Amino acid sequence: MDGPTGLTTLWVGRPHGFDNPLGKTDMEGEYKKCVTLINKWGLHAKTAFAFAKEAMKYESVITVEKGKKSADGKRMDDLLMLCAARGDTLEITAVGEDGEKALSSLADVVSSGFGEE
């Protein structure tokens, strides 16, 4: 038999339990805040990159929700899938020891319009 005999697994979507990354219902060190997108084009490639880059500075698990959609705040591609436009409200959740600091910083990034004019 010619060719490779191994199998490759391709995972599509989020891993089981993504919406509750630590598998707990009452998470200690969980911080949440709602922010409104004020920049002209909402969450596009540049702003999603800026958010993910800021989120990567923290150890906490960061999630962003828009309605029923949820995204890993450290993944630009996940953030873009939210299709968030100007005026949309995002709920940012940070879970971890540095969660409060992470949430404050990320909320500031969004509230400042990502530095766009």
- Report pLDDT digits (tens) over 76-92: 999 999 999 999 999 99
Distance, in Å, from the CA atom of 39 to the CA atom of 23, rounded to the nearest integer, reads 34
User: What integer pLDDT is reported at residue 115 of this predicted model?
Assistant: 82
Distance, in Å, from the CA atom of 99 to the CA atom of 50, rounded to the nearest integer, reads 18
Burial grade of 46 (CB within 10 A; 0-12, 13-18, 19 or more): middle
User: Residue 55: which of 91, 87, 92 has the closest Cα?
Assistant: 92
Q: What is the pTM of this model?
A: 0.76
Percentage, residues of the chain above pLDDT 90: 71
- Among residues 33, 44, 46, 101, the one annotated as catalytic is 44
Per-residue pLDDT at 40 exceeds 60: yes
Query: What is the distance between the terminal CA atoms of the chain, rounded to a whole angstrom?
Result: 61
User: What integer pLDDT is reported at residue 117 of this predicted model?
Assistant: 64
Structural domains of the chain, with CATH:
30-115 (3.30.1340.10)
Distance, in Å, from the CA atom of 76 to the CA atom of 8, rounded to the nearest integer, reads 25
Distance, in Å, from the CA atom of 50 to the CA atom of 110, rounded to the nearest integer, reads 9
CB 90 within 8 A of CB 64: yes
Is 16 an annotated catalytic residue? no
Per-residue pLDDT at 8 exceeds 50: no
Q: What is the mean pLDDT of residues 59-74?
A: 96
Per-residue pLDDT at 2 exceeds 50: no
